[in-house]
Amino acid sequence: MNLQEVLDELQTYGNETTKRTYMHHGAVEPFWGVKVSDMKIILKKIKNNQELAMQLYDSGISDAMYLAGLVANGAKMSKEKIKSWAENAKWYMHSEYTVPWVASEHPDALELALAWIDSEMESLATSGWCTLAALVVMKQDSELDMDLFKHLLSRVEKEIHQAPNRVRYAMNSFVIALGSGISSLTHEAIAVGVNNGKLMVDMGNTACKVPYAPDYIKKVMDAGKVGAKRKTVKC
């Protein structure tokens, strides 16, 4: 399939109810309101088509940009291209999902993430924290700098209540990932979550709530899945 064929098929899956839901969450035009489950029908037809993934993101159509992240192999993207994706993310479905997906696959993922979390641009900072969270659940503990991640956990504790809206959400996700993905830091992550308390994040005109990190981590503990690693965070 070429770009236009994919866009045409995406548009056929557009749904007004889904579009309204996405708008409540902060999506911006142009987009058709395609469910992720429908995107995955197309994904089966175009998986591993790296060039097409680049074209989809560059189209500027929100649904296509999300699909691009499912298709692309971040390890095969240049660092500059990943930076471009991060800088051009339109809303949090891109900055907190699409961009971290590909960034976490890149050899320079940690470098990218650490640069982004220092950005004054909210979407870039969220991409950074979400990339760090992805690394925690994908990389074996032996591949991670534990001192660095302990420092980052302390940084969240100090800065989360002064951070911008979506950055608070991403920081909280990082605490959950750390507590769930690195067994030696589980109790420290729970303690930070307790100290942070239940966070206030504007989730738009939705009923969505911010997960309370300690409860979430404890559920993972009860399921016996602390420290379990994943091959990918794409979903």
pLDDT of residue 123: 97
**Nearest-CA neighbor of 133 among 201, 69, 189?**
189
Average pLDDT, the chain: 97
Cα-based angle 50, 64, 235 (whole degrees, multiple of 5): 75
- State in Å, rounded, how far the first CA of the chain is from the last one: 22
**Nearest-CA neighbor of 235 among 19, 66, 1, 26?**
66
Query: What pLDDT digit, counting tens, does each position of 117-133 carry?
Result: 999 999 999 999 999 99
pLDDT of residue 55: 98
Looking at residues 2-17, what average pLDDT do you find?
A: 97
Looking at residues 75-97, what average pLDDT do you find?
A: 98
CB count within 10 Å of CB 63 equals 29
Please report which confidence band the pLDDT of residue 206 belongs to, taking 50, 70 and 90 as the band edges: confident
**Nearest-CA neighbor of 157 among 205, 213, 223?**
213
pLDDT of residue 210: 94
Query: What pLDDT digit, counting tens, does each position of 35-77 carry?
Result: 999 999 999 999 999 999 999 999 999 999 999 999 999 999 9
Q: What global pTM score does this model have?
A: 0.96
Q: Residue 159 — φ and ψ, nearest 5°?
A: -110, -15
